[in-house]
Structure 1
Amino acid sequence: MTSPLRSTLDFLLHDWLQAESLTARPRFADHSRETFDAVLDTCERIARGKYAPFNRIVDTEEPRTEPDGAGGLRVVLPACTHDARRAYADSGMLAAAQDYEQGGMQLPYLVDAAANVFFGCASISIGSNLLTTGNANAILAHGTPAQQQVFAANEFNGRWAGTMCLSEPQAGSSLSDIATRAEPDGEGFDADPLGPRYRLRGNKMWISAGEHELTENIVHLVLAKIPGPDGKLVPGVKGISLFIVPKQLVDAEGQLTGERNDIALAGLNHKLGWRGTTNTLLNFGEGKYPVRAEQGGGLDGAGAGAIGYRVGAPGEGLKCMFHMMNEARIAIGMAATALGLAGYYASLDYARQRLQGRPMGAGGKDAGAPQVALIAHADIKRMLLAQKSYCEGALALNLYCARLVDDGRTGDAQQAQDARLLLELLTPIAKSWPSENCLEANSLAIQIHGGYGYTRDFSVEQYWRDNRLNMIHEGTHGIQAMDLLGRKVLMQGGATLALLARRVRATAQAAAAVPPLALHAAQLGDALQQLLDVTQEAWAGGDAQQVLANAVPYLQAFGHVVLAWVWLDLALATLRSDAQLAQPASAGRLGAARYFFHYELPKIDAWLAVVRRCDSTCADMASEAF
């Protein structure tokens, strides 16, 4: 029997996004609907067998440390984590979207993203391989051929894992304040075949999968500052560079040398959720594992530094790292979506089986009548509809963004340019909207379970805990909001926002000609115009500090307009494929769209009102008044 998730993915991929049309492009010419289905079948099977049965185990048997025999610490994980990671790597999914020459399948990113949803629904803690792929992609984009061959290739083939090391205990999200140093390793530092060689010293925090023994090596991408001529670190972000810092040192052929780099695990962060994934504090160059100096090297001994190889030009670290960061943001949106869907399916199943209460009649409840299933009650249907509209809408949005990735890489010149611009604009929404609203879906899933939902007897409390991280992960709501309102909507003089507006209007125009959707089309048109007007009015005064004080309400309103557009387009596709709504899934999809327009889209009025008038309630609040 086809799972609800698989049915939804099939509709989104083929009835809505026309995934099979991508096979007309040379890069994907070897593929077909059959190969796409085979990839989904394989991933669903692995997720069911290696991930889902162990989701509770990795939550309760948290990572722990023990002495590594060399004066440091090692991480111990349950055996199921090793088995799941091995199964995922053996499936080829780490390199699924890469070139054949890199061991990949040249799969459309759209299909790759859809297939990975199975793992996120089954166990997000086990299934968090996103940093390895993102790390390798950043090296492919900015690294030298040797770095690509040694580091990226071994991440794609599953031998090695990858991380990104940005935050520091004293800096958090303020990357301009990082203090990790990278100094050239002697006079011949720029002659190393793996790239300019440096010694790094500093501390990094919140590093997901920063230490483990799932793979034979871990490739850290580390942001650090190169001292200026006076030996001092350059203030701000201009001095930041990016470095490959492997846990185990390697030679130019990618073979382990048998010597460990000077990277020490300082401890584990004990988290609310995602407990199966280690989250670490790492010390670089503290002398725990002193690295011998290369011949002619200028540094040696305790505290000399961990060896790292610069990626890209000096001072371009953020540019290089944000290639990975933007990819991770979309992946976090998908992770939030998967957790929301898992909670929705669990609460839907519970609502269908749990008998409780009796329906209200004209004379009240008939105590003698048999109990009915929870799903018979209107308020339960409200909570289920809310979850469905949030989670399936978020899934559609993230897959649309995945399709934009494919169009940006393989479309014709105009198509590629438009796709890249739209993706830039939608990335803050693709990350933030699911992480807020699918978390709310998880809360509603707990509510449907009643008191049981609050206990560990049911999975929905874990889904909520796991999902709470995603509002923080890879840039908080505040950061995404300021990026959207302060930069993205202003790009190219507003041309990017205008491009989105044209797409939204085209959908509204098509829906206006379909009687069941005409009212929603008018609502969407009004909402879009309100958003555009408020954007222009807010910036009319030119005071960035005043405008950005209400960036989060703007982000929320913008996201709801985008999701209303997505749902209207989904409704059109549903009626094209099943005009009579003969399939229950079609009626359900139309019901979720109607819910979103009736219950959710009207919320934008309140959000945009404070943006329009540049409300200063929050900005003017004196610190001592709290």
Structure 2
Amino acid sequence: MAASILNVRDLHFYLFELFDAQALTARPRYAEHSKETYLAAIETGRKIAQRYFLPIRQKVDVQQPTFDGKQVHMLPEIKPAIDAVIQSGLACPEADYEWGGMQLPAIVASVATSFLSAAGSTTLGYTSLTNANCNLIEAHGTPEQIAKWVVPMRQGRFAGTMAMTEPSAGSGLADLATSATRTEEGRYLITGNKIFISGGDHNLSENIVHLVLARIKGAPKGIKGVSLFIVPKYLVDETGAVGSRNDVSLAGLFHKMGGRGQTSCAINFGEQGGSIGYLVGEENQGIRYMFHMMNEARIMVGTSAALTALSGYQYSLDYAKERRQGRLPSSRDPLSAPVRIIEHADVRRMLLAQKAYAEGAYSLCLFGAQLADDVRTAPDEAERRSAKVLLDFLTPIIKSWPSEYGPRANSLAIQVLGGHGYTNEHPVEMFYRDNRLNSIHEGTYGVQSLDLLARKVPADNMAGYTNCISRMRDDIETATQHPALQEPAAALLAAIQVLEETTGAVLGGMQKLHIDLALANSVKYLELFGNVVVAWMWLKQGIAASAGLARDPHADDRNFYLGKLQALKYFYAYELPEIQVWKQILCDFEDAFYMAREEWF
């Protein structure tokens, strides 16, 4: 079966109807762009995905990287695929022209690389993590560090990673043990072990630039004593030439249930006395700097989860339109021809749920990208500040909701294919395995929920929370101007009231109850808030779809818009009402698992 990777019409809807990315060309940074250049970038990404990534998708999944004790061995077709991305400019599409980038808005860059992510899964991580590494050094490094490390990474000669997790310190970065010792030359000797380092070793580039969190000898305990270092695999001289091997060694590879296109490494720093590292910024500010890359990575994770869900939805949709099986309950003739399975109500349920999850998730990720564009280029300072407050606030939801609901969509895609869904002749089981990792990457659901409830909601007199609610109310007001959206607009308004009542109760409990009990149900708070935010995204899509229908479009576009409104209807009827149950759990400070004792398990 020849299935589409993604729905091009849907991508154009997000860019030009929902978020009006074309308006960004009025800003000086994007003045050389137009709708045509946007479309050309998207088409470039689609062609590279079709030519290089799609043909090897199954091979990448089956033939995992290996380590013989000396070097990593990978599927050889990966390198020309990555090289094609680099040569196209899509490895760093937001970067300045002078660095080899396309200087695209973040929202357009997300769509332009969507086919690559959908077809290549974590294989694209080699370039996306390198790009994030560059962005961090550009923001916090010295001009010399930018020239020495960022320039060759932007050129595709070097690759980049982030090295945080340790065998005894995963999410608990305050407990990391990797140490740094100052030398007389002003450099540092790094000693320690890092694990789960995505792209930590490979044969795709001349060098690998690790951004390593470590504690300088004598630094304060906890996260306040953590610093950030550039630690290359190979040392580089003053001319930029790659020289001798640094004291950085690969200890082994992890082999995961999915996401096998990118190596996952255990790396030892300083086995021979200390690997040479270069301090980024000031000492003891490493966590603050690393959050620049972590927050970018969190949005990348959410986007990857959404795109993987969209890929599974598109594949199962194409399959359901072709596969014939069974007859409708109303059929009385056993000799009648089997119907296409999309004609069965339960299959349409699973397809509509996938559509609601995946398209809702991706619109949320693109909204985050639009906020990033506003932070960077909005003409008004107040608008830039407002966008930053909202983006910082929404980041836990942008990361977590797609990575939690994306695998649910992929599970439904497997179910649509029935027995065929569990075989590797079809990619939907691989999509599920690939997507399952996203709920762990860059902070679990629980970690993100604590960040949202304990930090982001009360921060700055609830500035982010208030900003978010205010923008939702603005869109509700707009929606009421469309007759077809009166009911969902009222439902979202009621959902906001549920959210506000729940938030008030939980924040009050944090002042009166033991803090561990008050935060015990934080995951349900994140899920409640996430469902309200995604309902908001669907209302925004409903506004754009209603405007499209008002233009009396041709039949295909009319069906497209009606499909959007039907997915909105599904989400509001089947998903949004769950917040009532979660509100009760949160407001009652339900303690079923909090009070469970270890001996009872």
- Could you tell me the TM-score, scaled by structure 2's length? 0.96
Partners in 1 of 2:488 and 2:411 — Cα distance? 28
Instruction: Please name the residue that 1:93 is paired with.
Output: 90
Code of the aligned partner of 2:419: G
SS at match of 1:201: strand
What is the CA-CA distance between 1:188 and the residue it aligns to? 2.8
Q: 1:47-103, CA deviations, whole angstroms, 9 ceiling, x for partnerless residues?
A: 111111111001111101124xxxxx2111111111111101111122321223333
Partners in 2 of 1:602 and 1:513 — Cα distance? 24
Runs of 4+ in 1 over 4 A off after TM superposition: 1-4
What percent of counterpart residues are identical? 45
Instruction: Please name the residue that 1:332 is paired with.
Output: 301
SS at match of 1:244: strand
Q: What is the RMSD computed on CA atoms of the aligned residues? A: 1.4
Asked whether the equivalents of residues 312 and 428 of structure 2 are also in contact (C-alpha less than 8 Å), the reply is yes
Q: Which among 132, 135, 139 is matched to residue 137 of structure 2? A: 139
Partners in 1 of 2:45 and 2:575 — Cα distance? 33
Asked whether the equivalents of residues 5 and 115 of structure 2 are also in contact (C-alpha less than 8 Å), the reply is no
Asked whether the equivalents of residues 58 and 125 of structure 1 are also in contact (C-alpha less than 8 Å), the reply is no
Q: Which moved more, 1:555-564 or 1:88-97?
A: 88-97
1:178 aligns with 2:176: yes
Partners in 1 of 2:507 and 2:332 — Cα distance? 56
SS at match of 2:429: helix
Q: Which among 545, 548, 555 is matched to residue 526 of structure 2? A: 555
SS at match of 2:385: helix
Instruction: Please name the residue that 1:199 is paired with.
Output: 189
Specify every segment of 5 or more residues in structure 1 that has no aligned partner in the other structure, as ranges: 68-72, 190-196, 288-303
1:283 aligns with 2:268: yes
Partners in 2 of 1:617 and 1:450 — Cα distance? 36
Asked whether the equivalents of residues 95 and 157 of structure 1 are also in contact (C-alpha less than 8 Å), the reply is no
1:47 aligns with 2:49: yes
1:237 aligns with 2:235: no
Partners in 1 of 2:22 and 2:344 — Cα distance? 41
Instruction: Please name the residue that 2:545 is paired with.
Output: 574
Partners in 2 of 1:562 and 1:280 — Cα distance? 36
Instruction: Please name the residue that 1:601 is paired with.
Output: 576
Instruction: Please name the residue that 1:58 is paired with.
Output: 60
What is the CA-CA distance between 1:625 and the residue it aligns to? 1.1
Q: Which among 353, 365, 376 is matched to residue 398 of structure 1? A: 365
Instruction: Please name the residue that 1:298 is paired with.
Output: none
Instruction: Please name the residue that 2:600 is paired with.
Output: 625
Partners in 2 of 1:430 and 1:319 — Cα distance? 20
Q: Which among 523, 536, 541 is matched to residue 565 of structure 1? A: 536
Superposed, 1:464-475 pairs within 5 Å as: 464-475=432-443
Instruction: Please name the residue that 2:285 is paired with.
Output: 316
Q: Which moved more, 1:510-519 or 1:52-61?
A: 510-519
Asked whether the equivalents of residues 51 and 127 of structure 1 are also in contact (C-alpha less than 8 Å), the reply is no
Asked whether the equivalents of residues 159 and 215 of structure 1 are also in contact (C-alpha less than 8 Å), the reply is yes
Instruction: Please name the residue that 1:615 is paired with.
Output: 590
Asked whether the equivalents of residues 55 and 125 of structure 1 are also in contact (C-alpha less than 8 Å), the reply is no
SS at match of 1:368: coil
Instruction: Please name the residue that 1:507 is paired with.
Output: 475
Q: 1:218-244, CA deviations, whole angstroms, 9 ceiling, x for partnerless residues?
A: 00000000011xxxx632111100000
What is the CA-CA distance between 1:533 and the residue it aligns to? 1.3
Code of the aligned partner of 2:245: R
Q: 1:105-138, CA deviations, whole angstroms, 9 ceiling, x for partnerless residues?
A: 2211111111111111112032223211111101
Instruction: Please name the residue that 1:20 is paired with.
Output: 22
| Residue correspondences, number | 590
Asked whether the equivalents of residues 84 and 126 of structure 1 are also in contact (C-alpha less than 8 Å), the reply is no
Code of the aligned partner of 1:130: S
SS at match of 1:93: coil
Code of the aligned partner of 2:82: R
Code of the aligned partner of 1:314: E
Instruction: Please name the residue that 1:157 is paired with.
Output: 155
Q: Which among 95, 101, 106 is matched to residue 104 of structure 1? A: 101
Code of the aligned partner of 2:50: R
Residue 623 to residue 365, structure 1, CA distance change in 2 (3 Å): farther
Q: 1:302-353, CA deviations, whole angstroms, 9 ceiling, x for partnerless residues?
A: xx10000000100000001010000000000011111111111111111111
Asked whether the equivalents of residues 273 and 467 of structure 1 are also in contact (C-alpha less than 8 Å), the reply is yes
SS at match of 1:495: helix
Asked whether the equivalents of residues 92 and 128 of structure 2 are also in contact (C-alpha less than 8 Å), the reply is no
Asked whether the equivalents of residues 404 and 423 of structure 1 are also in contact (C-alpha less than 8 Å), the reply is yes
Q: Which among 416, 428, 451 is matched to residue 460 of structure 1? A: 428
Specify every segment of 5 or more residues in structure 2 that has no aligned partner in the other structure, as ranges: none
Asked whether the equivalents of residues 457 and 464 of structure 2 are also in contact (C-alpha less than 8 Å), the reply is yes
SS at match of 1:381: helix
Partners in 2 of 1:286 and 1:2 — Cα distance? 48
Code of the aligned partner of 1:113: S
Partners in 2 of 1:136 and 1:103 — Cα distance? 13
Asked whether the equivalents of residues 138 and 321 of structure 1 are also in contact (C-alpha less than 8 Å), the reply is yes
Q: 1:441-476, CA deviations, whole angstroms, 9 ceiling, x for partnerless residues?
A: 000000011111111121111000001100000110
Instruction: Please name the residue that 2:146 is paired with.
Output: 148
- Could you tell me the TM-score, scaled by structure 1's length? 0.92
1:588 aligns with 2:542: no
Q: Which moved more, 1:496-505 or 1:90-99?
A: 90-99
Instruction: Please name the residue that 2:239 is paired with.
Output: 253
